[in-house]
């Protein structure tokens, strides 16, 4: 079977506070995001985060980059909310009491303190995604990479997550099929067939994508 190129070689520097990645399913968006924190290793070339190579210095990269998956249940490990946040703090807080206190502060920062003792299985989709976000951010990374974080959310929870993203001090790089969400970013990359075919202002990227779909040049 011939090898398939998932993402063609490209050179990009991602420095804006909010960067969206858009494109059809299977276009290479998720691969692009996973390269940023070393979940995927490049077959050629290299990826660096703040000067650290994602392959050779993976630990240093993951100390700086948090990754939020589409389905929060795929990354929520512990059954109780505060336990999951505490787990992400284990490396930085060896003392159990201090770890619990830090987890409570992290939950309070995102307005989730009232959920601390709840089972993750009793939460709404939006609450689960926010708890997963809290667990990711609690470890102190200054870059958040999110792979279609609103896909499983209803309108209210979608808006809640977006407003939470807006308030974050971290750089946020996210893939999304929600083109309004994408258009609100500072910059957007349009990916098609493993290539970045547009890189620029987010509203222009969205307009380009819509036109390509209308022309039948990109499968919606």
Which residues are CB-contacts of 182 (< 8 A; sequence separation ≥ 6)? 20, 22, 176, 188, 202, 205, 206
The pLDDT of residue 140: 87
Confidence category of residue 184, pLDDT binned at 50, 70, 90: very high
The token pair at 83 is: 């336990």
Position 69 in a domain: no
Which residues are CB-contacts of 39 (< 8 A; sequence separation ≥ 6)? 67
Last residue of a domain, one of 124, 140, 156: 140
Answer yes or no: do 55 and 93 share one domain: no
Q: How many domains does the chain have?
A: 2
Answer yes or no: do 155 and 209 share one domain: yes
- In DSSP terms, which residues pair with 119 in a beta bridge? 80
Position 211 in a domain: yes
Radius of gyration of the chain (CA): 18
Say whether pTM exceeds 0.85. yes
Answer yes or no: do 165 and 177 share one domain: yes
CATH number reported for the structural domain that contains residue 149 in this entry: 3.40.50.300
Confidence category of residue 36, pLDDT binned at 50, 70, 90: very high
DSSP letters for 135-190: HHHHT--SEEEEESTTTT--HHHHHHHHHHHHH-SSEEEEE-S-HHHHHTSSEEEE
- Give the helix/strand (H/E) hosting 52: strand 52-53
Q: Is 85 exposed, middle or buried (0-12, 13-18, 19+ CB in 10 A)?
A: buried
Answer yes or no: do 148 and 59 share one domain: yes
Last residue of a domain, one of 114, 140, 166: 140
Confidence category of residue 9, pLDDT binned at 50, 70, 90: confident
More confident residue, 115 or 1: 115
Structural domain boundaries enclosing 117: 76-140
Position 6 in a domain: yes
Position 70 in a domain: no
pLDDT (tens digit per residue) in 85-117: 999 999 888 899 999 999 999 999 889 999 999
- In DSSP terms, which residues pair with 65 in a beta bridge? 143
Position 152 in a domain: yes
Position 151 in a domain: yes
Alpha-carbon dihedral sign for residues 134, 136, 141, 144: negative
Give dist(CA 85, CA 116) in Å, integer.
9
Answer yes or no: do 167 and 201 share one domain: yes
Position 71 in a domain: no
Position 14 in a domain: yes
């Amino acid at each position: 079977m011939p090898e398939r190129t998932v993402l063609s070689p490209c050179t990009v520097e991602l420095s804006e506070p909010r960067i969206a990645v858009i494109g059809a399913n299977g276009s290479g968006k998720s691969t692009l995001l996973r390269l940023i924190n070393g979940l995927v290793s490049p077959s050629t070339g290299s990826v660096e985060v703040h000067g650290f190579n994602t392959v050779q210095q993976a630990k240093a990269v993951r100390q700086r980059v948090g990754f939020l998956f589409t389905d929060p249940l795929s990354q929520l490990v512990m059954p109780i909310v505060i336990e999951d946040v505490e787990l992400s703090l284990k490396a930085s807080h060896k003392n159990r009491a201090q770890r619990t206190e830090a987890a409570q502060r992290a939950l309070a920062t995102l307005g989730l303190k009232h959920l601390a003792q709840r089972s993750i299985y009793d939460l709404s989709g939006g609450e689960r995604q926010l708890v997963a976000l809290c667990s990711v951010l609690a470890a102190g990374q200054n870059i958040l990479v999110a792979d279609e974080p609103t896909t499983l959310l209803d309108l209210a929870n979608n808006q809640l997550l977006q407003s939470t993203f807006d308030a974050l001090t971290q750089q946020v790089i996210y893939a999304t099929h929600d083109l309004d969400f994408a258009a609100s970013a500072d910059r957007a990359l349009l990916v098609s067939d493993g290539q970045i075919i547009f890189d620029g202002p987010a509203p222009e990227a969205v307009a380009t994508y819509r036109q390509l779909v209308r022309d039948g040049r990109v499968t919606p």
